[in-house]
Homo-oligomer: A and B are copies of this chain.
Amino acid sequence: MPAHPLEPRRTPPGGRALKTVERILEATALLLDEVGFDALTTNAIAERAGVNVASLYKYFPNKYAVLTGLAERMRDEQLALIRRPTEPGAWREELATLLDVFLDLFVSRPGFATLASVLSSSAPLREIDEASLAAEARALSERLAEYGVEGSRADREAIARVALEAARGVLPLARRAGPARRKRLMRELRRMLEAYLAGHIEG
């Protein structure tokens, strides 16, 4: 049994409890961006969410479970984007679109950009971090397979993972940048991924 059980305490029965969980996660996300990881406290989260700390602990067994909840949400949204089907053949267009929606995700969803680095700098969260990234890489590698990328499963997953890591590095940066710099960064990111994937898809 791990020191920090990360599973939510009980599936919120729906209705008003769900709204409570929602507000806790949202407050967590906002605070993460505002004050960073190490100033994030459960008391602050509860206050910001407008709920009592004891309520927070009713739905999450501990602090890390809250972050885990947020991480799962982030992972699910990213998975959904990756899996969203598109017309085959137009991989360059799809890549461009995917980068756009990912940027949108990182920009419009507070906390996501910060959460990504939090997950890999905190020991209790590393596991979920790696699992999430592996899942995303797997999903992406399946798309690569559709596009005819060859090699072993592991090869394709490595390709996917490398592409993902590149995006995960640049997106938070683009988020913080002004419009001109953001455009430049996104353009270069797209170029890099295009050049890279072209070798695998077309080569």
Contact = CB atoms under 8 A, between A and B. Distances in A.
Interface of A: 34-39, 114, 117-118, 120-124, 126, 154-155, 158-159, 161-166, 168-170, 172-173, 181, 184-185, 187-189, 191-193, 195-196, 198-199
Nearest to A188: B162
A184 B154 contact: yes
A38 B196 CA distance: 36
A162 B158 contact: no
Nearest to A123: B36
Contacts of A191: 196, 199
B192 A163 contact: yes
Nearest to A189: B162
Nearest to A39: B123
A22 to B, nearest CB: 23
A168 B192 CA distance: 15
Given A161-B188, A162-B185, 9 more contacts: A36-B121, A36-B126, A37-B38, A155-B184, A166-B192, A191-B199, A192-B193, A195-B196, A195-B198
18 contacts: A36-B126, A37-B37, A117-B121, A155-B184, A158-B184, A158-B188, A159-B188, A161-B173, A161-B185, A162-B170, A165-B169, A166-B192, A168-B169, A169-B169, A191-B196, A195-B195, A195-B199, A196-B196
